[in-house]
Chains A and B, each alone.
Chain A
Amino acid sequence: MNRMISTDAAAELIRSGAALSVAGVEAALDRLPAGNWIGGTSPYFMVASGGTVVDDSKVFVTELSGIGQVSVASYGADELAGICGDAPENGFAVTIIPFGGACHQRFALDAASFPNAFLRPTVGWIAGVHLSEIGKTAPLVYDGRTAAKFRDRAVVAHVALPEDRLVSVEIVNLFEPDDGDILRFTEASFEIGTCEVNGKTVNFADYVAARGLEHGQQPLVGDFAGAHLNVSLQSLDNTAHRAALYAPVFPGVDYRFAKSVGDYAAVFRTRLTEQDTQGAVMACNCILNFVFGELEGKAIGGIEGPITFGEIAYQLLNQTAVIVRIL
C-alpha cells in the first residue's frame, strides 16, 4: 500500500501490527497510536488526480511490512551515521528528518560519507509545514514506537529485504544545467559568500542578482559523475551579500544554473512516463516543484507520495522526485 487513506484507517492498520511510513499534518499524526511506524509532517501530496493539500482527516501511508522486515529507530544529530550503520546488510533505511534543525544540516553535509552509505541506501524526505505556517509551526517527525514527536531527530524505518531482492533508488530531475558559467565552491555550506565562476572569485549573491535568478525557480545543478543533483536558492541578502540555500554545495563539484523549465506539469508527465515504475514502493516530490510548477490539481502520473521540504536519495536533494523500487 502506498496511498492516501483516512487517519482512522491508518490507526487501525497500526493497531493490526502493520509497519508504516506515514505523512500528514500534526493533528492527524497526533491521533495515531503507538506501533511500528515512523511519520513526518506535510500537508502536501501528489496523488493520481494531482497535487493536493489535506487536513487532519487523511494521511499518506506507505506500508513497509510487505516489503521486508521492519525495525524503527531514531537518531539525534550526533548519531546520524547509525542511519546506514544500523541498516540491514541487504536493505535500506527510510528516513524522515524535520526541516531546519541540526539533524537536517548535519545529514545534508555528511550523509555521503557515512559508513555503508552506498551499501545500505538511505531514502526518504524532509518534513515540512503548510507554506503559510513557515516560521510559526515547527515541522515534526514521529517515532511510532512511543508515538512521540520530535522537532530535531531523524526517524528511520530499517527495511531488511529477502535475499533475492535489491532496492533501487532513482530520481526524476526536470532540470538540465545550462551551457554557461561553471561555479565552484571552496567549502560545504548552506550559506554562501563567494564562489568561483569560471575560475574567478566573485560574490555569489551579486552574481545571482546580475543574472536575474533571484526568483529561485532555477536551481544550481551539480555534476556528480553525470548525475544531476539540484541545490535550490532559499534567499538572497543583498545587504550582507550572502545567499542561503536549501541544501549545501560541496567543493570538488562543478555547478551550473539550470535551464528554465517551460511547462512543469507537461515535462513531469513526459519524464515520469519514461521512468520505469515496475516494483515501485514509495516516492516523494519537492514542494518547490509543487509551487513553481503549480501542480495543485494537475495529474502528472508516476508514483503517489508526499510533497516535501527536501528529498533523500543517499543524500539530501532539492527540486527532485525520488522513486524507490524493489527489484
Chain B
Amino acid sequence: MAVPSPDHPCWQKLASGALSRMKTKHLGTQLLIKNIERSTDPVPVKAKEIHAFFAKWERGLSAEVQQLPYL
C-alpha cells in the first residue's frame, strides 16, 4: 500500500489526534507521535509533518503505512 496523497483527509484526522492510535515499535515513529501530541502547531502544519514523515520512511514502515487511512 502506498502512502496516501497529501490531500487525503486522513492527514487532518491523524493530526487531530488519530495518530496516537497507531500501533508501532519503530522508534522514530513513536517519537514523532509523542511530539505531535505535545505540539501546539496548527493542525495543517502537523498534517504536513506527518505526511512528510511517512513519505520519507515508507519503505521501512509498511505496517504503519497500512494503518494510516483507518486510524
The residues of A with any CB-CB pair to B shorter than 8 Å are: 112-113, 117-119, 121, 166, 168-171, 224-227, 250-253, 313-315, 327
Cα distance A251–B34 in the bound complex, in angstroms: 11
A184 to chain B, nearest CB (A): 12
Q: Contact at A227–B60, with CB atoms within 8 Å?
A: no
In the complex, the answer to whether A250 meets B53 with C-beta atoms within 8 Å is: no
In the assembled complex, how far is the CB of residue B19 from the closest CB belonging to chain A, in whole angstroms? 9
Given contacts A113-B35, A225-B20, A252-B34, list 19 more A-B pairs with CB under 8 A. A112-B35, A117-B35, A118-B28, A118-B31, A118-B32, A118-B49, A119-B52, A224-B30, A224-B34, A225-B22, A225-B30, A225-B31, A226-B25, A227-B27, A227-B30, A227-B34, A251-B38, A252-B37, A253-B34
Q: 9 tightest CB-CB pairs across the interface, nearest first?
A: A227-B30, A225-B33, A224-B34, A225-B30, A252-B38, A118-B32, A225-B34, A112-B35, A119-B56
Query: Can you list 28 A-B pairs, Cβ within 8 angstroms, ordered by A?
Result: A113-B35, A117-B35, A118-B31, A118-B53, A166-B59, A166-B60, A169-B28, A171-B27, A224-B33, A224-B34, A225-B20, A225-B22, A225-B29, A225-B31, A225-B37, A226-B25, A226-B30, A227-B34, A250-B38, A251-B38, A252-B34, A252-B37, A253-B34, A253-B38, A313-B27, A314-B31, A315-B31, A327-B60
In the complex, A325→B54 CA distance in Å? Answer: 19
Chain B residues at the A interface, C-beta cutoff of 8 Å: 20, 22, 24-25, 27-35, 37-39, 49, 52-53, 56-57, 59-60
Partner of A118, one of B20, B35, B37: B35
Give the secondary structure class of A's interface: loop
Given the complex of chains A and B, what is the CA–CA distance between A171 and B56 in angstroms?
A: 21
A310 to chain B, nearest CB (A): 16
The interface residues of chain B lying within 8 Å CB-to-CB of A227 are 27, 30-31, 34
Contacts of A121 in B (CB 8 A): 28
Tell me the bound Cα distance from A117 to B49 in angstroms: 10
Chain B contact residues: over half helix, strand or loop, or mixed?
helix
Chain B: minimal CB distance from A282 (Å): 16
Residues of B within 8 A of A315 (CB): 31
When distances are taken between beta carbons in the complex, the residues of chain B under 8 Å from A113 are 35, 39
Q: Which residue from chain A places its CB closest to the CB of B32 in the assembled complex?
A: A118
Q: Which residues of B contact A169 (CB under 8 A)?
A: 27-28
In the assembled complex, the Cα of A227 lies from the Cα of B37 at a distance in Å of 14
- What chain B residues lie within 8 Å of A170 (beta carbons)? 27
Cα-based distance from A31 to B20 in the complex (angstroms): 50
Write the nearest CB–CB distance from B16 to chain A, whole angstroms: 16
- The residue of chain B having its C-beta at the shortest distance from the C-beta of A120 within the complex is B56
In the complex, chain B residues whose CB is within 8 Å of the CB of A112? 31, 34-35
Which residues of chain B are near A168, meaning CB under 8 Å? 60
Contacts of B56 in A (CB 8 A): 119
Residues of B close to A327: CB separation below 8 A:
60
Q: Give the docked Cα–Cα distance between A69 and B29 (Å).
A: 26
Query: For residue A253, which residues in chain B have a CB less than 8 angstroms away from its CB?
Result: 34, 38
Distance (whole angstroms) from the CB of B60 to the closest CB of chain A:
6
Closest to B19 in A: A225
